[in-house]
Amino acid sequence: MGKDKSLIREENGVTYKRAKTWHIALAMMTGAGQMAFYLLMNGATYIGNSNFGILVAVTGLIITGSRLLDGITDPVIAFFLERFNSRFGKVRFSIMFGWLLMAIATTLMCNIGAKLSLTGAAGITFFVLCYVIYIIGYTFVSIAGQINMNILTNDPKQRPTIGVWSTAYSYLVPMIMSVVASAVILPRFNNIQGTEYFATYNVVVILVSLFFYILACIGIAPYDIPENFEGIKKDGETDEKPSFKDMLALIKENKELQRFIMAATSDKLAQTVGSAAVVSTMLNGIMLGSMAISSILSALAMLPSIIFAIIGAKIAGKQGSRKVMIDWTKNCIGLNIAFAVYLLFTPTTLVGTVFGGNLSTGAVLMAITYVLFTFGNNAMKMVVSVSTSAFRMDVVDYEMDRSGKYMPATVSATYSFIDKIVSSFGATIATLMIGLIGYTTTAPQQGDPLTFSVRIMTVILLIGFPIVGWICTLLAMKNSELTYEKMEEIQKSIGEKKKAAMGQ
């Protein structure tokens, strides 16, 4: 690979390693496989109830508690992977081992467990153990996917394009799998999401995810080699694997990682609040008057979102991820202030009447305006998302230049741990907030009266929280040093240090 000139780019005295586009496309299919399992496990409540007789409320508590475990497993598995090597590579092992654990866990839940007639405490215990195995497997694949991003390329012009493939898969896989589940599998079982349905769905998911993961392993294979995981050797020493002390030092001393975590997690918490089911109902079902709007726009927004992911990658490749994060976060704030004005002071219920046949000028103009705001919002958020993903890769290289340690798994796991803990409060915050306007014993439903308090609370949750998150991003990134020019210096420094180490 090192002799292939097409995989090398030189600029301003810095030599960058590049990846072939088809390698990137295949390698990022780790996310496609994860999405297939994720969609299956969205039905965990039904699985627990139909296969083990677990009450819906109890299953909800199990799933909520699992988010804490999910966060804890990230640093533990990251520590293992930072020190692990095998003849089959680090990433490929992690992908396939993670798939095996998830396949075992879901098979026990959906196929085998139902035949054991486990109920009561035995059923709950079995379900919890299976869920724990699933989480561990999911974490292995998740961290492998994040490592992929770093070892594929260090070229700032190519790195942001990795996020484009992830975005494309995150839209396409749910759409395809949802059609398969609802239009092909579910009708075979009288449209009942029961034991037989999940048993069949699970087999499909296992086979589809295996296909994606095999392709991912093929794509990452040329890069999943020991030399791509080496840090900077010092004083003629052999390259030592990162220790627990090194990982703690990373979290404590790497200011850029701290800034990234503050920016990314504040955004994630705000977006989690805004995307809660109750907020969607208040917006679409009450303010707009039609729940169908959400599903229709989600499908229509797929292509524009992917296009803007590509645009964002191009801009980030020219200007640097930090600058794009800042500039487009400001754009998000400006657009959403205008969106808030639209939602607060216009007759939004006219939008829903269009779906009922009202084609009056006012209703059509209101609907068009809403669609433009929605698409514009998705597009700008997509640019920020792509640049944020690229910035995380910059943090890994910054750490290697700073400490000599290459720790992509640790950087990803540290962010993921904090992100999962913080974002788990999103739905809770939304639920508590709507309680302030009277929804204490019942949840919002389509057709509820559009009161001023409902309008205000919807805007606060949908737009107010994200704006606060974006302000936190601007504050965090204000003092970041990882500009395009600084990253050039870092890459040059890493190259020089490695050459010096080899010459000792």
Confidence of residue 351 (pLDDT cuts 50, 70, 90): confident
- Percent of the chain surpassing pLDDT 70: 93
Confidence of residue 471 (pLDDT cuts 50, 70, 90): very high
Tell me, what amino acid is at 7? L
CB contact at 8 A, 327 and 368: no
pTM (whole model) above 0.85 = no
Distances (CA, A) of 394 to 160, 391, 479: 11, 5, 15
For 95-104, 133-142, 235-244, 422-431, which range has the lowest pLDDT when averaged over its residues? 235-244
Looking at mean pLDDT, say which of 184-198, 295-309, 452-466 comes out highest: 452-466
Q: How would DSSP label each residue in 291-320?
A: THHHHHHHHHTHHHHHHHHHHHHHHHHHH-
- Mean pLDDT on 50-64: 73
- Mean pLDDT on 388-395: 89
- CA dist 228 and 101 (Å) reads 26
* Segments in 28-108 forming alpha helices (H): 30-41, 44-52, 56-82, 91-107
Q: Which residues contact 482 (CB under 8 A, 6 or more apart)?
A: 256, 320, 321, 322, 391, 394, 395, 398, 490
Degrees (nearest 5) of the Cα angle 415, 254, 138?
20
Predicted local distance difference test score (pLDDT) of residue 233 = 64
Q: What is the pLDDT of residues 81-137, one digit of tens each?
A: 877 777 788 899 999 999 999 999 999 988 898 888 777 888 888 988 998 899 999
CB contact at 8 A, 276 and 441: no
| 3-state SS assignment for residue 448 | coil
Q: What is the pLDDT of residues 5-37, one digit of tens each?
A: 567 778 777 788 888 999 999 999 999 999 999
- Mean pLDDT on 217-240: 75
Confidence of residue 470 (pLDDT cuts 50, 70, 90): very high
For 59-73, 267-281, 475-489, which range has the lowest pLDDT when averaged over its residues? 59-73
CB contact at 8 A, 352 and 293: yes
Q: In terms of C-beta density within 10 A (0-12 exposed, 13-18 middle, 19 or more buried), how is residue 448 classed?
A: middle
Tell me, what amino acid is at 336? N
| 3-state SS assignment for residue 267 | helix
Q: Which residues contact 123 (CB under 8 A, 6 or more apart)?
A: 51, 52, 53, 54
- Mean pLDDT on 305-331: 90
- CA dist 55 and 128 (Å) reads 13
Predicted local distance difference test score (pLDDT) of residue 2 = 42
Residue 239: is its pLDDT beyond 60? Answer: no
Predicted local distance difference test score (pLDDT) of residue 3 = 46
Predicted local distance difference test score (pLDDT) of residue 474 = 94
